[in-house]
């Protein structure tokens, strides 16, 4: 079952207040009972004292005859108290007006002179409390008499009942009220969460720049809000790249498509020699091949973005791969009199064809940007553990620092005027990065004082 946090908090709050209030109610009830008990005991002790006093003043048999009257007088107005006096052999000498059946336990076990507790019982739906004690009379030689004082609790039973009802009613109301208040407090306390939800609900692709205001958020939620904002930043970044990519695609496709269209339609506008038609078709074919290469590259990148590129793993001798690539690019390097050196020897666990493509793209890029008579220096190095570092360094114009981080972006050209020169699709280095990432590696580039260096790092 799914409980909202508000309900959860309110229920917890209600449960705790209920427990506390119930305990408090029980405690107060007990206190009140104890209080009455003590009052009762004091009254009983008082009356016991009074009776003993009266008995002590009995000196003769005649005094004994007058005792009931004396005691009755003394007990006038104390309707709830009744006193009984018995001889040791069970003969009742005195019984006040309100006769009460005395439990045998009371008569059998007379207590101390000043009793510490009263015996309680119930009879005919009424509750009683009583003390008993042995009291010597003033008549010499007579055995001590048993005095029992009984208190009918009816007089304060009514009060206790009313008190209890009132107490539990108050407790119940308090619990209800506390629960309601708890719910309101929980709701109010969770208002920031709702406001976060509100902002989150308002965020769409067009409003990815919205952020949650951190200063209005309680301390407990700062971490959550920070995480949320960071997620938004990442999303915004990815989204921006994606939309840049889409518009780049549109832009990159527009030029060749518009060339194709113009050329084809101009070609069709009048009748030409077959030589001219052939020329047009050949040119179209070249343009289309470039387009199809671009589409294949973009698909590769799209798959890489979705982690759909799973490199086949085998031991790859990177030095051997580079040597093959150098053999392939040798004619280009010779044309430009570029000196290429290669040092080091390492193996790497990876997909041979993909790695070859990744390194090939960096190499062809280096050859393209190295001036005639320049140099390219390739170095392979084993780094700590199983790490591998490949650096490809070439002489040439220093690339301004602001371009460096974006060199691996799709269609990014440091120098816009070089656009379309050299047949590149503008995706080579982006593909390199994707392949290297799929192999858990990192690419980086630095460029200072006429030397540009691409580094690929694994492990």
Partner 1 sequence: MQNALTEEHAGEAMKILIVEDEPKTGDYLRQGLAEAGFVVDLARDGFDGMHLALTEAYDLILLDVMLPGVDGWQVLQAIRRAGKDIPVLFLTARDDVEDRVKGLELGADDYLVKPFAFAELLARVRTLLRRGSKAKEAETLTAADLELDLLRRRVTRGGKRIDLTAKEFGLLELLLRRQGEVLPRSLIASQVWDMNFDSDTNVIDVAVRRLRAKVDDDFEPKLIRTVRGMGYVLEVPEAA
Of 65 and 324, which CB lies nearer to partner 1 in the complex structure?
324
Whole-number minimum distance, CB 435 to partner 1, in Å?
A: 10
Smallest gap, in angstroms, from Cβ of residue 361 to partner 1?
8
Q: Is there binding between residue 357 and partner 1 (CB under 8 A)?
A: yes
Among 131-139, 158-166, 268-276, 297-305, the segment contacting partner 1 (CB under 8 A)? 297-305
> What is the DSSP-derived secondary structure letter of residue 381?
E
Among 23, 143, 330, 401, binds partner 1 (CB under 8 A): 330
Give me the sheet containing 119-123, strands edge to edge: 92-95, 81-86, 145-152, 126-135, 119-123
245 touching partner 1, by CB under 8 A: no
The only residue of 220, 223, 230, 335 in contact with partner 1, by rule CB under 8 A = 335
382 forms beta bridges with 388
Q: Does 368 bind partner 1 (CB under 8 A)?
A: yes
- Does 423 contact partner 1 by CB under 8 A? yes
Which of the stretches 44-52, 56-64, 119-127, 321-329 binds partner 1 when contact is defined by CB under 8 A?
321-329
User: From CA 149, how far away is CA 153, in angstroms rounded?
Assistant: 13
Residue in 161, 281, 320, 401 binding partner 1, rule: CB under 8 A = 281
CA dist., res. 85 & res. 67, Å (int): 11
> Is residue 237 near partner 1 by the rule CB under 8 A?
no
Window contacting partner 1 (CB under 8 A); options: 183-191, 204-212, 251-259, 417-425: 417-425
Decide: 33 and 118 in contact? Cβ < 8 Å: no
Contact 148, 84 (CB under 8 A): yes
- Nearer to partner 1 among residue 98 and residue 368 (C-beta): 368
State the chain's maximal CA–CA distance in angstroms.
166
Binding segment for partner 1 (CB under 8 A), chosen from 120-128, 194-202, 324-332, 382-390, is 324-332
Distance in Å, CB of 207 to partner 1, minimum: 35
Instruction: List CB contacts of 253: < 8 A, sequence separation 6 or more.
Output: 291, 294
- Please classify residue 454 by burial: count the beta carbons closer than 10 Å to its beta carbon, then call 0-12 exposed, 13-18 middle and 19+ buried: buried
The one among 245, 300, 411, 454 contacting partner 1 by CB under 8 A: 300
CA distance 239 to 246: 10
Contact between 94 and partner 1 by CB under 8 A: the answer reads no
What is the distance of C-alpha 427 from the center of its chain? Answer: 42
∠ at Cα 336 (330, 338), nearest 5°?
65
Rounded distance between C-alpha atoms, residue 358 and residue 435, angstroms: 6
Which position among 31, 105, 296, 320 is part of the footprint of partner 1 (CB under 8 A)? 296
Whether 427 and 411 have beta carbons less than 8 Å apart is answered as yes
Q: Which residues contact 282 (CB under 8 A, 6 or more apart)?
A: none
Straight-line distance from the first to the last Cα atom of the chain, in angstroms, rounded to the nearest whole number: 46
- Contact residue for partner 1 among 225, 367, 378, 445 (CB under 8 A): 367
Under rule CB under 8 A, residue 369 binds partner 1? no
Closer by beta carbon to partner 1, 264 or else 284: 284
Site of interaction with partner 1 (CB under 8 A): 278-279, 281-286, 288-289, 292-293, 295-297, 299-300, 303, 310, 324-325, 327-332, 335, 353, 356-357, 360-361, 364, 367-368, 422-425, 428
């Amino acid at each position: 079952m799914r409980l909202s946090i508000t309900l959860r908090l309110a229920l917890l709050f209600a449960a705790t207040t209920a427990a506390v209030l119930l305990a408090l109610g029980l405690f107060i009830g007990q206190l009140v009972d104890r209080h009455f008990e003590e009052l009762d005991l004091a009254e009983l002790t008082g009356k016991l004292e009074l009776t003993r006093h009266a008995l002590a003043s009995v000196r003769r048999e005649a005094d004994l005859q007058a005792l009931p009257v004396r005691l009755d007088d003394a007990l006038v107005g104390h309707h709830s108290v009744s006193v009984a006096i018995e001889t040791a052999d069970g003969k009742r000498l005195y019984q006040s007006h309100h006769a009460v059946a005395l439990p045998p336990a009371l008569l059998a076990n007379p207590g101390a002179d000043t009793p510490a507790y009263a015996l309680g019982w119930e009879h005919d739906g009424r509750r009683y409390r009583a003390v008993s004690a042995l009291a010597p009379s003033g008549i010499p030689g007579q055995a001590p008499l048993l005095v029992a004082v009984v208190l009918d609790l009816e007089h304060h039973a009514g009060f206790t009942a009313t008190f209890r009802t009132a107490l539990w009613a108050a407790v119940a109301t308090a619990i209800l009220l506390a629960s309601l208040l708890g719910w309101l407090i929980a709701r109010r306390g969770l208002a920031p969460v709702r406001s976060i939800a509100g902002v989150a609900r308002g965020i769409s692709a067009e409003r990815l720049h919205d952020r949650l205001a951190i200063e209005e958020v309680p301390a407990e939620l700062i971490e959550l809000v920070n995480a949320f904002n960071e997620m938004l930043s990442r999303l915004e970044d990815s989204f921006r790249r994606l939309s840049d990519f889409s518009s780049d695609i549109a832009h990159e496709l527009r030029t060749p498509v518009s060339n194709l269209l113009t050329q084809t339609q101009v070609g069709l506008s009048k009748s030409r020699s077959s030589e001219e038609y052939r020329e047009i078709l050949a040119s179209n074919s070249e343009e289309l091949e470039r387009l199809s290469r671009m589409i294949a590259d973009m698909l590769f990148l799209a798959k890489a973005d979705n982690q759909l590129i799973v490199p086949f793993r085998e031991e790859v001798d990177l030095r051997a791969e580079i040597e093959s690539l150098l053999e392939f690019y040798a004619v280009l390097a010779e044309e430009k009199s570029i000196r290429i050196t290669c040092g080091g020897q390492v193996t790497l666990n990876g997909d041979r064809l993909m790695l070859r493509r990744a390194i090939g793209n960096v190499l062809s890029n280096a050859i393209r940007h190295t001036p005639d008579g320049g140099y390219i220096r390739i170095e392979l190095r084993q780094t700590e553990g199983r790490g591998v570092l490949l650096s490809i360094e070439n002489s040439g114009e220093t690339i301004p620092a602001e371009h460096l981080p974006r060199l691996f972006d799709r269609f990014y050209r440091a120098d816009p005027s070089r656009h379309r020169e050299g047949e590149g699709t503008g995706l080579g280095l982006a593909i390199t990065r994707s392949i290297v990432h799929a192999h858990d590696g990192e690419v980086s580039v630095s460029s200072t004082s006429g030397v540009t260096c691409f580094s690929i790092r694994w492990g």
